[in-house]
């Protein structure tokens, strides 16, 4: 059987770097008013799997966990991270310019089980900044299109101007056997698409729930309603996967800041199967 996630352009699975290394900023692309994609050049071949994250930082400011949002080989091999400016560290990272150096250690964490999804439909539900952690998985699914049934992407944002990767979304939508539905909470005068929360899109596009694997990333309340809708549609609980976010400071399961019930998100996640996590998701503010 062909190898899923086989190495391509220096990208595979491997042991994380536990010490920070300086990576050069190659490009900085503004996605929205508060979100930037940094293309970073590692000093040596870098290996990761879709869903994993790195700790990005700047000296004297701090470091934060940021999921890998893709890679490109257009100029050497550069690794992309899509960052929303919400605090001092992320604002500083978003302000980085080509030629600047950013500290990186990783990759850390679990990844999307793409191999286990082979042979069935795949439903991907993303809210806001939840699309970047799913982007490498979507690219892998499309690169191996013949190994899967229908691929369905449901994506929601606050406003049309908050939508990420619009050109790529259009390209995905044009692929055979791929359905892309986009919705916004607050439309502007030019918006002609769906309006409402993204879990409401589940059921608008047909899929075989018994043979479906689902991936979801977004605000926790959005993921709760998404999972409820997926389960109500008949998707088995052990075929639903989500990416959790907590206050990660060490990323090596030492500090305990990212504890979620019996789990440490940096070690046991960020990608979890819903079934073992279910009882802990029911505890609000945990």
Residue 227 CA to residue 231 CA, distance in Å, equals: 6
Residues facing 259 on adjacent strands: 264
Query: What per-residue confidence (pLDDT) applies to 246?
Result: 81
pLDDT in tens, the chain (286 residues): 233 444 333 333 455 666 889 999 999 999 999 999 999 999 988 889 999 999 999 999 999 999 999 987 656 689 999 999 999 999 999 999 999 999 999 999 999 999 999 999 999 999 999 999 999 999 999 999 999 999 999 999 999 999 999 999 999 999 999 999 999 999 999 999 999 999 999 988 899 999 999 999 999 999 999 999 999 999 999 999 999 988 787 888 788 888 888 998 989 999 999 999 999 888 766 5
Joined tokens for residue 183: 């919705």
pTM of the model: 0.92
Cα 137 versus chain centre, distance: 8
Cα 152 versus chain centre, distance: 15
Query: What per-residue confidence (pLDDT) applies to 124?
Result: 98
How many Cβ atoms are within 10 Å of 198's Cβ, its own excluded?
A: 28
Domains of the chain by range and CATH? 17-108 (2.40.30.10), 115-243 (3.40.50.80)
3-state secondary structure of 8: strand
How many Cβ atoms are within 10 Å of 219's Cβ, its own excluded?
A: 13
């Amino acid at each position: 059987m062909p190898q899923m996630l086989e190495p391509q352009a220096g990208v595979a699975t491997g042991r994380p770097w536990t010490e920070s290394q300086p990576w050069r900023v190659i490009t900085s692309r503004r996605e929205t008013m508060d979100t930037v994609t940094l293309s970073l050049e590692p000093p040596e071949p870098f290996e990761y799997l879709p869903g994993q994250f790195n700790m990005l930082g700047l000296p004297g400011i701090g470091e934060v966990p940021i999921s890998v949002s893709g890679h490109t080989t257009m100029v050497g091999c550069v690794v992309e991270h899509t960052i929303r400016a919400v605090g001092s560290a992320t604002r500083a990272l978003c302000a980085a310019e080509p030629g600047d150096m950013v500290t990186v250690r990783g990759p850390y964490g679990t990844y999307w089980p793409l191999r286990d999804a082979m042979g069935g439909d795949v439903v991907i539900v993303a809210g806001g900044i939840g699309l970047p952690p799913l982007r490498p998985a979507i690219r892998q699914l499309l690169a191996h299109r013949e190994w899967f049934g229908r691929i369905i992407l449901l994506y929601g944002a606050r406003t049309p101007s908050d939508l990420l990767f619009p050109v790529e979304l259009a390209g995905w939508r044009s692929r055979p056997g791929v359905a892309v539905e986009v919705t916004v909470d607050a439309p502007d005068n030019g918006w002609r698409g769906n309006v409402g929360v993204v879990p409401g899109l589940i059921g608008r596009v047909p899929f075989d729930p018994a043979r479906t694997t689902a991936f979801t990333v977004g605000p926790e309340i959005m993921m709760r309603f998404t999972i409820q809708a997926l389960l109500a549609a008949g998707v088995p609980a052990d075929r639903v996967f989500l990416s959790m976010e907590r206050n990660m400071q060490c990323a090596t399961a030492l500090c305990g800041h990212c504890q979620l019930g019996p789990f440490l998100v940096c070690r046991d996640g960020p990608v979890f199967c819903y079934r073992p996590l279910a009882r802990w998701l029911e505890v609000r503010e945990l």
